[in-house]
Amino acid sequence: MDMMTEGETVYNSHDDSHVVMSEKVQSLAGSIYQEFERMISRYDEDVVKDLMPLVVNILECLDLAYTENQEHEVEVELLREDNEQLVTQYEREKQLRKTSEQKLLEIEDGMEEERKQYQAKVESLESIVRMFELKNRNATDHANRMEDKADELKKEYAKLHERYTELFKTHMDYMERTKILMGTDRLDQLGSSRGRIPGFTLANLNSEPPLFRTAIYNGRS
């Protein structure tokens, strides 16, 4: 920044590479320059000689601060926008998480309900299996008892059959002996009631033809 008095003295800042000042700083510098001109015209140039470099430096610092402030405002605005986006994203993520947690709770509740139902079915099936196992054991025991009873009945039947056979044989022997005895008694009775038949003896009876002996034997029975 250059400031001069009626073309005689020029004050320069130490930073010649500085960019053009902002409008606000330029307006402020113009106002200060006018005040310096009035002071120089009223008094002397020496009045502002030492003050001018300080003012120029202050104006440059002010312009730099103003520029940095604008940059900071831009950064703040960008950060505000980023923050709003982050807040929006956070709220969206929060809602999504809430929805996900709700769905997870519903799924867990559904899984718990299904687990209870499956557990009830398993317990029911286990109860049915135990009942069938008990019935199977009872049926097996009953079948074993029936087999044992059948074996006992077979043994008893064998004993009875053997006893029956013995009794039947005894009965047949008894019947044979009875027939023989009854036949002898009848012959004795026949001989005593009719008298002796001339020439008829047991020896003659045994010597008769088979047909005659068969008739006599049938008469005994």
CB 48 within 8 A of CB 40: yes
* Position 73, amino acid: E
Question: CA–CA separation, 133 vs 181, rounded Å?
Answer: 69
End-to-end CA distance of the chain: 175
What is the pTM (predicted TM-score) of this model?
0.39
Per-residue model confidence (pLDDT) at position 11: 39
The residue with tokens 């047991």 is 202
Q: What is each CA distance from 124 to 114, 118, 186, 211, in whole angstroms? A: 15, 10, 87, 88
- Which residues of the chain fall short of a pLDDT of 50? 1-19, 194-221
Per-residue model confidence (pLDDT) at position 67: 87
